[in-house]
Amino acid sequence: MNVDALLIGITSDRFAALSRGREVNPFEKRVRKVLDFIRTLDKEDKVEIRKIEDPFGPSVEDQELEVLFVTENLLFNALKVNSLRQPKGMKPLDIFVVPLLRAENGGILSSTRIRTKKINENGTIAH
């Protein structure tokens, strides 16, 4: 797949707190982590980051979008996006499901588990 541009949605602090019901890293830190990763790919010029204030972000309004990447736990939202696009006469998005990464003990590699020091950023169990 040739990528002309990649739009990455990152939830605002307000929406993250409402939707997750637990502490999350501040928006700026989450953006910085994503940009740090994008820099390792040397693709900064192809990426736009947008703050997301609801479950769907620009995916239900932006006719330029073609593909939606979601983790397996958010597949339902991706299907809902396409059902919301259809009545507007918008083309459905291709959906690519990305598996969640696992820590060495098989649990999900998550910022919550890292922040609570149950695992490190590589998924290694903290001792």
- Confidence band (pLDDT; 50, 70, 90) for 1? low
Of 16 and 53, more confident: 53
* Helix intervals (H) in 86-127: 111-115
Residue 12 has pLDDT above 90, yes or no: yes
Report whether pLDDT(127) > 70: no
Region 64-93: mean pLDDT is 95
What CA–CA distances, in Å, run from 12 to 29, 41, 59, 78?
Answer: 11, 25, 16, 19
- Which residue has better confidence, 4 or 26? 26
pLDDT (mean) for 52-80: 93
SS3 120: coil
Which alpha helices (DSSP H) does 13-120 contain, by range? 13-20, 27-40, 75-85, 111-115
Lowest mean pLDDT among 23-27, 55-59, 64-68, 112-116: 112-116
Say what the pTM is: 0.79
Q: Cβ distance 81 to 60 under 8 Å?
A: yes
Res. 21 pLDDT band, cuts 50 70 90:
low
